[in-house]
Structure 1
Amino acid sequence: MVEPQRLITPEIAERYDVSIHTVTKTWSAHPAWPAPVDRRGRYKEYAAEDVSAFVRDHVDRQAVALEPRRLYTAQQLEDAGIGIKASTIRADLSRSRKPDQPRRWPEPDDTSDGVNRWTGETVTTALTARRGYRKTADDA
């Protein structure tokens, strides 16, 4: 199958597994969003290559390489540049959840001395399961 050279909003949303709302209200509001090259029906048409470059540069996040067996606190993870603030991790852990609802962040691997710590392996697994994170070059 030949890849289209131009895409409209529904095609962009499908290709990148996001909602049309994300494309029209979030991505297209970004200053680096590509200019439309034409129209197709009621939609603006964008060069597929330009959209791909935007997603690569502004949406995809490269997962940080962490030492698999080392234990990290939430603050150490934020400092390592995982793209999630320590306060967000702590807030997710403190939220009361229904038993059938999965957490956005995994349970700590170690809680000794009242400090939550996660192994690098646990964090890497959690991040690669989240939308927008790619595997590191070492994982490929």
Structure 2
Amino acid sequence: MVDTTPPDGETLREIAARHNRAYDTLRAQWSRHPDWPAPIGKRGRSYVYDPAAVDAAIAAHFTRGTAAFEPGRLYTAREISELTGISAATIRSDVSRNRWPAPDDTSQMANRWTGTTITTALTGRRHDPRTAGSA
């Protein structure tokens, strides 16, 4: 007798939803990475993947580590970049587009943000692992 039970696992759309990412990002970029796990079967026309293997690949290659910022300390965009992997240019660009908070201190040559402000800004970012499901 042929087993017709679909394999346990998740489709790329389900993985994208669980990790709060666009399906096209997973389909066109992440799933083409050499370390992306092989499918464990199919559900309808979609491949399914082992969630634990997917989570391991995402943690290893597609998420930034969580940096600990001292709440009252002031950080420059360059220091934030070194601790988070978000480029200083991206931070400056996001400030001008109101996607990153205004600096807490502008009295020096470089704008600076407190650790509390940075932590709040990172929590709201799409790429932050603390808000991206189980990764």
Please give the TM-score of this superposition, normalised by the length of structure 2. Answer: 0.80
Q: Deviations over 1:19-75 (max 9, x none)?
A: 221221121121211111212221112112211212222233222111110111111
Are the counterparts in 2 of residues 36 and 44 from structure 1 also a CA contact under 8 Å? yes
User: How far apart, CA to CA, are the structure 2 residues paired with 1:92 and 1:16?
Assistant: 22
User: How far apart, CA to CA, are the structure 1 residues paired with 2:25 and 2:100?
Assistant: 23
Structure 2, unpaired ranges of 5+: 1-6, 131-135
Deviation at 1:114, TM superposition (A): 4.3
User: How far apart, CA to CA, are the structure 1 residues paired with 2:56 and 2:63?
Assistant: 10
Pair 1:104-2:106 in alignment? no
Are the counterparts in 2 of residues 63 and 124 from structure 1 also a CA contact under 8 Å? no
- Percent identity, aligned pairs only, is 48
> Cα 1:14–1:76, aligned 2, differ >3 Å: closer, same or farther?
closer
Pair 1:87-2:82 in alignment? no
Q: Return the letter of the residue paired with 2:84.
A: I
- Please provide the CA RMSD for this pair: 1.9
User: How far apart, CA to CA, are the structure 1 residues paired with 2:29 and 2:53?
Assistant: 16
**Map of 2:66 onto structure 1:** 63
* Number of equivalences: 124
